[in-house]
């Protein structure tokens, strides 16, 4: 146990361990995540319903979804995909969470909307070709290492038609400055989020100031199992993300407020990037 806690308090090299898949594919955790997605008043796995409507509204005004082909990466239970399809898009949702994809497919069958959901990993599997728009919503790019981001940019580039758009959002550097290092633990930490039965959960937060990177490192100790989870979050300034996109064959058309699609009023919150292939 002593060695476990020493390990938990060690600052790992940036992005040296990847455990995002555990969060979204473990049967217990992904079922809890689905509850969060479907809670229209919470921001825990998807944004609140009013925010989703705001984002869909400005994307439709800007790109006009009607008859467009859209790939919604990390679509979760398809909350955005469904609204895009309602506005006339042919949507392919991509997600590796069986729980979310099963829910998304079931809802699509019930509504009869033109939606396809692929249970696949957007870092490993091929994306649909000839897309007008590829989107990645709720700051998922921030969980990826520089190497993984490069893989993703290449896949998105290949998936888009020439002139097609990649639309995604990121956390701002101002949000990084609100974070603090610290540690906490508790029996059934986070209200039973991590496992069905009894467990002790420990969490340490590390900040990497030079890189504007944060890590929440968890140790979950159950009677017969011990797991570690690493949640990395990269925060971006506009120049860095613009440069990164330019280096990967995109041109940034505009940086906008996630909820209104207008010029951001402040640099305090997350923001969306509209990039063109």
Ligand X SMILES: C[S@@+](CC[C@H](N)C(=O)[O-])C[C@H]1O[C@@H](n2cnc3c(N)ncnc32)[C@H](O)[C@@H]1O
Query: Is residue 140 involved in binding ligand X (CB under 6 A)?
Result: yes
Selected binder of ligand X within 92, 97, 172, 204 (CB under 6 A) = 97
Asked if 91 interacts with ligand X (CB under 6 A), we say no
Shortest Å, Cβ 260 to ligand X: 17
CA-based angle 60:63:67, to the nearest 5?
Answer: 85
Q: CB-wise, 15 or 202, nearer to ligand X? A: 15
d(CA 11, CA 180) in angstroms, rounded, equals 14
Of 63, 122, 230, 232, which lies in the binding site for ligand X, with binding defined by CB under 6 A? 122
Other C-beta atoms closer than 10 Å to the C-beta of 119 total 16
**Closer CB to ligand X, 74 or 164, in the complex:** 74
Q: Considering beta carbons, is residue 115 or 202 the nearer one to ligand X?
A: 115
> In the chain, which ranges are E strands?
69-73, 90-95, 115-119, 131-136, 160-172, 182-187, 200-208, 213-222, 225-236, 251-257, 271-276
Nearer to ligand X, 95 or 202 (CB): 95
Q: Is residue 96 part of the contact set for ligand X (CB under 6 A)?
A: yes
Q: How many helices (H) and strands (E) does the chain have?
A: 10, 11
What is the CB neighbour count within 10 angstroms for residue 105? Answer: 17
Among 22, 29, 45, 70, interactor with ligand X by CB under 6 A: 45
Is 95 a binding residue for ligand X by CB under 6 A? The answer is yes
Q: How far apart are CA 143 and CA 159, in angstroms?
A: 21
Applying CB under 6 A, the residues found at the interface with ligand X are 20, 24, 37, 45-46, 74-76, 79-80, 94-97, 100, 121-123, 137-138, 140
């Amino acid at each position: 146990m002593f060695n476990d806690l020493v390990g938990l308090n060690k600052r790992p090299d940036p992005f040296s361990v990847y455990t995002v898949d555990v969060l979204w594919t473990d049967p217990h955790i992904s079922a809890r995540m689905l509850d969060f997605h479907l809670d229209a008043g919470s921001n825990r796995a998807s944004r609140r319903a009013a925010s989703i409507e705001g984002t869909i509204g400005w994307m439709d005004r800007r790109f006009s979804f009607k008859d467009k082909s859209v790939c919604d990466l990390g679509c979760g239970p398809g909350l955005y995909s469904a609204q895009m399809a309602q506005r006339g898009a042919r949507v392919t949702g991509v997600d590796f969470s069986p729980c979310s994809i099963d829910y998304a497919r079931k809802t699509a069958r019930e509504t009869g909307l033109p939606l396809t959901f692929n249970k696949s990993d957007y870092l490993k599997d091929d994306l649909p070709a000839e897309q007008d728009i590829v989107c990645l919503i709720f700051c998922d790019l921030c969980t990826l290492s520089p190497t993984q981001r490069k893989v993703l940019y290449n896949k998105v580039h290949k998936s888009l038609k020439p002139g097609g758009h990649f639309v995604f959002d990121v956390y701002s550097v101002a949000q990084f400055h609100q974070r603090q290092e610290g540690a906490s633990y508790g029996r059934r930490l986070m209200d039973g989020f991590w496992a069905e039965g009894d467990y002790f959960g420990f969490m340490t937060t590390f900040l990497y100031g030079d890189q504007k990177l944060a890590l929440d490192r968890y140790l979950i100790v159950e009677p017969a199992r011990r797991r570690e989870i690493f949640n990395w979050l990269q925060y971006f300034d506009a120049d860095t993300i613009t440069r990164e996109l330019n280096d990967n064959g995109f041109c940034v058309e505009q940086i906008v407020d996630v909820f209104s699609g207008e010029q951001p009023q402040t640099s305090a919150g997350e923001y969306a990037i509209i990039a063109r292939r």
